[in-house]
Amino acid sequence: SAVISQKPSRDICQRGTSLTIQCQVDSQVTMMFWYRQQPGQSLTLIATANQGSEATYESGFVIDKFPISRPNLTFSTLTVSNMSPEDSSIYLCSVEVGTQLNEKLFFGSGTQLSVL
Amino acid sequence: AQKITQTQPGMFVQEKEAVTLDCTYDTSDPSYGLFWYKQPSSGEMIFLIYQGSYDQQNATEGRYSLNFQKARKSANLVISASQLGDSAMYFCAMREVSGGYQKVTFGTGTKLQVIP
């Protein structure tokens, strides 16, 4: 498994501001993933972050709104920019651990974001 | 078409009884993986159990077992001897190759409530 530390665990932010969420893993991993979970909904993948390259964003998510950094193999950040109340969600980082084609996905503790 | 279908929005189970949470999936990728996660009210996503598409035997982890029926494309989670602490949302997820890279898709979840 993997130990994933994510912070902040929760925050309340004002409209128009930005919040950066940090994710630290206790081992080196190739890919890190960022998910969003809107209230009462399932998880939706925002982007995949590889070390040393631009993140790959899913349909409906853009770099200007959700810039991602991946400076090394154990750390990543997701910024939620120019926030609006619609951005109120749980944001989760995750990593894959295991052998090829048998990887398991583990999650950080999540960041509960409320935008006023 | 939905990749992952969880048809039970909510379930009740008596404490100490067993409960089955349903999950069906749809993929044309011969190599895929199936996951179950527990999400308590705190929001964290807790990995429970994993089944690879080539695994011959059903996965088991303590009180959790995965009833994998490949021909029917179902991967039901069985929780034995339910405890009050099992009350949570449960998500089924599938990893497959999509657009040239691996992607994990989540179902809509089942809310399980354990009754004393």
Pairing of strands B4-5, B24-25: antiparallel
Please write the tens of the pLDDT for every residue from A82-115. Answer: 999 999 999 999 998 877 666 788 999 999 999 9
Whole-number Å distance between alpha carbons of A61 and A59: 6
What pLDDT, on a 0 to 100 scale, did the predictor assign at position A53? Answer: 80
Tell me which amino acid residue A39 is: P
Q: What is the mean pLDDT of residues B70-84?
A: 97
| CB proximity B29 to A under 8 Å | no
Q: What is the mean pLDDT of residues B76-91?
A: 97
Task: Identify residues of A whose CB sits under 8 angstroms from chain B CBs.
Answer: 1, 33, 37, 41-45, 48, 56, 90, 92, 94, 96, 101-110, 112
Whole-number Å distance between alpha carbons of A21 and A92: 9
Assigned token pair, B10: 């909510």
Question: Is residue B18 within 8 Å of residue B28, measured between CB atoms?
Answer: no
SS3 A83: coil
Higher-confidence residue: A50 or B36?
A: B36
SS3 A86: helix
| CB proximity B71 to A under 8 Å | no
What pLDDT, on a 0 to 100 scale, did the predictor assign at position A100? Answer: 67
Q: What is the mean pLDDT of residues B1-21?
A: 94
Cα distances from B97 to residues A16, A96, B105, in angstroms, run 37, 14, 11
Asked if pLDDT for residue A19 goes beyond 80, the answer is yes
